[in-house]
Chain A
């Protein structure tokens, strides 16, 4: 059935599209035709699909499947362990429900295939998979099938699925449900009440039966009451919360207006005379409720994205105990454990490499898509994917202590920060709210002579029209837009107010090591000294340095190695020695590599590292901490004067400064000294932007007006930076600057509009020329305009290398595709 077919069908695998190698091909009949397969995995999957009669999958799919690379079933059996199982599965008696994140969902046909195929397994009750988000849900009878069987089946079909963490998801869903219900009640109530209101207006013109009029009014009150109480509840709760905190927000005028409108209308209905304003109240609730519902959805999506950090981590890991590997739940790992992580798997905890070097994909942590190599004792972070392994590591941090979790917390903290901490903004909104309330009162008093109806109408109109919703929305929505934009470029904005300060900054202070320079030794110059080819020299050096513990070895780490170099030994403090084709190789200090030669005699002594064969110099290498290639270009794009504050030696700093064209620099400064320098500059009136690596520069970044951390490794908890750049590329600075500029423009537009509209409409409202419903309409449109304007900030993402792309954010990419890319 699925045995290798010697009459090799060439071409591409029908299942996954990979090339089929001659002599190693399988074939499976699908829809009556024999189809070539590239491997046992594809063949098994295809055979099962055909046997189940689900050939429609192949007919309807719009993209090749992923090649199934199933793990052994023992991997999945770890999910049957009690500790793991109860964390991811919710049970009601025998009925169990699990939420999954499914990988390799390429098109709609995939989700159909999964749903159809899983449903056939005994005990499975419901399967639902959403290909857009990669989320799946299975309800099954756990007596009839263990979870491992379901997961193994999915794996063999080519869709490895990871049970996800539930809590945040459930909360969000419940909130979304509540919002939908409130909105529905508001909408339908709005329609009904408007109908009655129209009848009443008509009756006011044409004359209406007293009984009919009363009937309509009572109906309006009846329908409006649940709307105001149920759908309007968030406004009242928000207003109260704001008052209690001492910071009245925009909920207060809304709640006031609603309360007055409803209360006065209720009195009017009971009393039998007077105007009712229930139509305005309900319309108000509906429109603003809609705006909030949409905003809630956007925020919940952002939360979901942020949570992907946590969902990225595997639920099980391999712990090494002596010579054996045991599969344990991720929560069972403790610092000090030794773990093994295989190719394609995700590192479950922070720690250090033990043993052979590995290559990792750290894009989820650092935004860097280029693979990085980590050698013995190098740091690895939870969330990285092993590209070339296996990785053996010791654990330093688990769970909440990992870099990933800290990033998640920072992101969450950033969510709640609305960027309006600039003092003048706060005073503006509070002042506005007070002014509005006073004006409302004044209007009421002024109009009282005309009778309560007119007075109330005018007062409500004033309160509604001058409601500072647009004003209160102006800045936070813009800041949120800037955040989203930058998040797509791998920049985490912790304090939104910092973005606004950037446009007023006057000085840029940069750290050198790790910020302007790569931070690790790299090969700066190669000079062949004999007739040996440069590539051979490099390969020999790489072969020797491979076994070196010295940091200089990093410079040669990614270079191809010359085979045949043996007996490599490190001579401490001097260099490396080895044998090759009978000759003795030495790489290191000049007098070590070429012993006996007079120093200073010739140009050789300038080279820090010399490669020699049998005592004769063959090649010179200069290894240094190179300046980042993009540094010059990016610095030229930034508007501020630049100064380097570095802890390194003067001559090194001078060299880097010269290379970058920076005139001002200070060398040999500790972090505290740097902070003191900034404080002095600030006293002289400068607004300082500081850029460092965030970890040992913490005081430096904290002192500055805007602190930006680039290339931060290690603990983010110690970072007091306002903006954190994931990754090392300086282009992020350019992105931040551009977004800050655009943000300032848009905030200005928003504020202008919000204030202008309010000031313009206010006199009309006080004069009684604006009816409450018109006021509500105008206010809603005004708010929507501000939100819409701020949305412009989300487009035009600036990529880390400075290019602008108009595509949507990378951070919104479903986990599914990330998993599939990593394991491909």
Chain B
């Protein structure tokens, strides 16, 4: 019985902590897009060259 007195409130405390985490995750937008992060993992390479600051040069296109 005394163990219950300790454990149950403890579990409730953990639950509240989990709840707080969940609420944070929701607010942070973690659940807004469930598909893309999966793909992103597949694509990311280990090595990428350092920051490339230029945009694409505005090439003039040949008109068809």
Please give the residue numbers on chain A whose beta carbons come within 8 Å of chain B beta carbons, in ascending order: 2, 4, 24, 39-41, 43-45, 47-48, 51-54, 56, 60, 69-70, 73, 108-109, 111-112, 115-116, 120-122, 128-132, 149, 152-153, 156-157, 173, 177, 180-181, 184-185, 188, 192, 209, 211-212, 215, 219, 222-223
Contact = CB atoms under 8 A, between A and B. Distances in A.
Contacts of A2: 59
Nearest to A55: B45
A211 B63 CA distance: 87
Interface string B7-30: 010001001001100110011010
A43 B59 contact: yes
A349 B20 CA distance: 48
Contacts of A69: 61
A130 B27 contact: no
Interface in B17-63: 18-19, 22-23, 26-27, 29, 31-33, 35-36, 39-40, 42-45, 48-49, 51-53, 55-62
B51 A120 contact: yes
A274 B18 CA distance: 33
Given A52-B52, A209-B1, A212-B1, A156 B43 contact: no
A215 B5 contact: yes
Contact of A188 (B1, B19, B35, B42): B19
B60 to A, nearest CB: 7
Given A128-B33, A128-B36, A60 B53 contact: no
A184 B22 contact: yes
A180 B43 contact: no
B2 to A, nearest CB: 11
Contact of B19 (A130, A185, A222): A185
A130 to B, nearest CB: 5
A56 B41 CA distance: 13
B42 A60 contact: yes
Contacts of A51: 52
A60 B42 CA distance: 9
Given A132-B35, A152-B55, A184 B4 contact: no
Given A181-B23, A209-B1, A56 B33 contact: no
Contacts of B48: 53-54, 116
Contacts of B59: 2, 40-41, 43-44, 156
Interface of B: 1, 4-5, 8, 12, 15, 18-19, 22-23, 26-27, 29, 31-33, 35-36, 39-40, 42-45, 48-49, 51-53, 55-62, 64
A219 B8 contact: yes
A40 B19 contact: no
Contact of A44 (B1, B29, B45, B57): B57
Say what secondary structure dominates the interface of chain B: loop
Contacts of A212: 1, 4
A177 B39 contact: no
A586 to B, nearest CB: 40
A165 to B, nearest CB: 18
A216 to B, nearest CB: 9
B39 A111 contact: yes
Given A153-B55, A156-B58, A181-B22, A130 B15 contact: no
12 contacts: A24-B62, A69-B61, A111-B39, A122-B53, A130-B36, A149-B55, A152-B58, A156-B56, A156-B59, A173-B29, A177-B26, A184-B22
A132 B32 CA distance: 12
Nearest to A112: B43
B43 A56 contact: yes
B40 A115 contact: yes
A56 B56 contact: no
Contact of A173 (B22, B32, B42, B52): B32
A149 B53 CA distance: 12
Contacts of A56: 43, 45
A40 B58 contact: no
B61 A40 contact: yes
Contacts of B62: 4, 24, 39-40
B49 A52 contact: yes
Contacts of B52: 51-53, 120
A184 B19 contact: yes
Contact of B56 (A48, A130, A219): A48
A44 B51 CA distance: 19
B36 A129 contact: yes
Contact of B49 (A41, A53, A209): A53
A248 to B, nearest CB: 32
Contacts of A53: 45, 48-49, 52
A128 B28 CA distance: 13
Given A181-B23, A181-B26, A215 B43 contact: no
Contacts of A130: 33, 35-36
A45 B1 CA distance: 70
